[in-house]
Structure 1
Amino acid sequence: MREETKVVTIGNKAIGGKNPILIQSMTNTKTEDVKATVAQILELEAAGCDIIRCAVPTKEAAEAFTEIKRQIHIPLVADIHFDYRLAIAAIEHGADKIRINPGNIGSVDRVKAVVDAAKERNIPIRVGVNSGSLENQFLEKYHGVTAEGIVESALDKVKIIEDLGYDNLVISIKSSDVTMCVKAHELIAKQSSYPLHVGITESGTVLSGNIKSAVGLGIILYQGIGNTIRVSLTGNPVEEVKSAKLILKTLGLRKGGVELVSCPTCGRTQIDLIGLAGQVENMIQDIDLDVKVAVMGCAVNGPGEAKEADIGIAGGRGEGLLIKKGQIIRKVPENQLLSALREELLNMQAEKTHK
């Protein structure tokens, strides 16, 4: 278990210390397009995103931060590569945090200019090092890309900023190799007390990326390592947030939201269980309850296997059962199962609100 980390404030959020693990994502719009970027951020907010990062490849993108910030409600992070002037511009236009790799910013004077701008406004700097951008000195020292090299590179960059008199820092070390990423986080957790942003970078599509991220993040977070997370997926960033919430909930690191359990199909299944489970998964997204919902494929297993769920449905031929805590409440026509379940959940939500 990692010792408690330094507390860092990002906009209206705090990470590290005893603060909860927060979910990050990144927009895939052109940041210069304020309308499209804001629309995507608001969608991500609704899905449960706590901190959002936007690419800043141009001066216009940095300038767009002023208007974007006016229209959103979560901290806005500027993602900078190479041009130190864009980091300064993003800070001047309201970035709540900047993400840089001091190694690709250039000379110490340029890094100092960025640090001075951040220091003036007390804006945190996220020092990010990816396995794909490891410097030659570490590749030679460790004979290729290794966890040890990634960690040494990151701590080397941290020291550059510390030597400039600033320690309002977050560290990010990422690799697309799950085992390497896990090892790197285990190593750096023993050598640094700065908050860590955790993710498996370039993890892949929604299918492969979710599996790699769940395995990697699961191992890292279970050890008490990590203060913010991102599930990097090649897809709609809303899917990243959904996955991150589920990973945290599965590990017991975040409460709230409906948890869905459903049985695999078998020869007894007499309804479209796959379709029904998918419909339920979509239907529960806006339900504000900390409950477990079961979707079972037959009346044989339904009540028994769903007894640990707060509420559930079990399908039969032409009709199904509505179940609470393993007890059958009533029979419902098959085409009304989904609406009956939603009605019960909304009633439970209303009861919770009035308590």
Structure 2
Amino acid sequence: MGSDSGATRAFIGSFTSAGGPGITVAAVDAKSGALTALGATDAVPDPSYLALGRGTGPAGGVLYAVSETEDGAAAALDVTGDVPRPVDGTRPVDGGGPTHLALAGGHLLTANYNSGSVTALPVRADGSLGPAASVLRHEGSGPNPDRQRSPHAHQVLPDPSGNWVLSVDLGTDSVRICALDPATGELRPHGETPLRPGTGPRHLAFHPAGGHAYVLNELEPTVTTCRWNAAAGVLEPVGETPVLPDGAPADSDAAAYPSEVVVSPDGRFLWTANRGPDSISVLALDPTGERVTPVTAVDCGGHWPRDLALDPTGRRLYAANERSGNVTWFDVDPETGVPERAGSLDVPAASCVIFG
């Protein structure tokens, strides 16, 4: 397994409205992967998802958070110390309930679930955020009357080439592909890939080789394998695989609502976090990245795993268990991909974990 975690600190988001501390900074033990809380701030309401600025520029080392509130906002925080400090307050995203964010082309992008839109905010020289440069509003609906009456953008991220922005919409059963103008922040629609109606796509992850993407569906516990053509900006579905070893449970009380999908750096394994069964599924990928095979599932070490993350080495998995209020870490067997529980840190209403 090796002994270096590849990271010195972790950043954990949590819902302040449910008793969470907000944004927690934790030290990562290099040998064990264990987390030790260093400090926290509740300066940003409901910071449910986080992203860390990379590189050596002014934005490098700045932490970004959504504020998953009805009004919707994002914030930049200085994390040079053990307690995050807001750089310039919160910035409205002109959308409701932002649930995800990513950095691309000199902008911070937010996926706004309630309003079904994606917002681009410019990142200033000091890492702070400027006013919204553009808002791309999704259109459409799906067959589920409770969850799909309108668009619900759940994730936004750049593709590996950096030329495209993809947004995953649970409400419209589709993934949109856009181009981002780094000079103006304009999001220009390029295409939309429909997925099977009623599946409710939530998040996607790319294969490290860049030619495939795996879309995790929330309303049905499956993952849709897609070919990704970065030159043309085209996403093509080619298969769908149950994420639970025995398929979807028949008992509605035990229904599964997958939350996050992660692919190993070597492209051999795929993991999903599954709310309901409170499990982490292990799926094997063939050398081409196109065939996905369920292997097994293990207990997530808590209740309602909202997020799943690999440490930078790919040797450990961390599950943010929202309802049990803890982040659990696992050692990953390099041969089988099966996680083995190694420890846990209490974080009430935990919603995500990232490393830096």
- After TM superposition, is the score higher than 0.5? no
TM-score (norm 1): 0.32
Higher relative helix content = 1
Higher relative strand content = 2
Higher Rg of the two aligned structures: 1
TM-score (norm 2): 0.32
